[in-house]
Amino acid sequence: MALAARITLITLGVADVAVSTAFYEKLGFKRSSASNDSASFFHMSGTVLGLFGRDSLAADAGLAPTRPQAFEGMALAQNLASRDEVDAAWDFAVQCGANPVKKPHEVFWGGYSGYFADPDGHLWELAHNPFMPLGEDGHMMLPD
């Protein structure tokens, strides 16, 4: 047996579901009618983003709740078609209330990227990678 190489749902543990929901709606994410007071779900291209109370998410996994740290060891990323798109998306996210972590700039691997954080500190990278083009659906096209 092997697990299928796909992610159907990314769930972020948040301090306040309503506050985080409002932030993602400002970004333009479309909330599903499956959402309720304790969880929000957003339509994404091929994946669903979920927001759930941080302590409740820990309890669901059978873990003790912890407080967020400055860096949780992961980042969500969205690749864009150009540097100009990265700059525009980063500026828009900051206007929507994102914490500006690292302004977009040229990076060592030959691309262009920057970071912002949502109200709970979850990192989002916005990047343009000239070595991995995007398909018509906006997904990265990886070589075999």
pLDDT of residue 138: 86
Q: Residue 86, CB half-sphere, CA atoms under 13 Å: how many?
A: 26
pLDDT digits (tens, 9 = 90+) for 48-91: 999 999 999 999 999 999 888 888 889 999 999 999 999 999 99
**DSSP H or E stretch at residue 83:** helix 83-95
pLDDT digits (tens, 9 = 90+) for 44-55: 988 999 999 999
Which residues, 6 or more positions from 58, have their beta carbon under 8 angstroms from its beta carbon? Answer: 13, 64, 65, 66
Euclidean distance between CA atoms 138 and 117, whole angstroms: 22
Phi-psi region of 25 (alpha: psi -120 to 50; beta: other; left: phi over 0): alpha
pLDDT of residue 67: 85
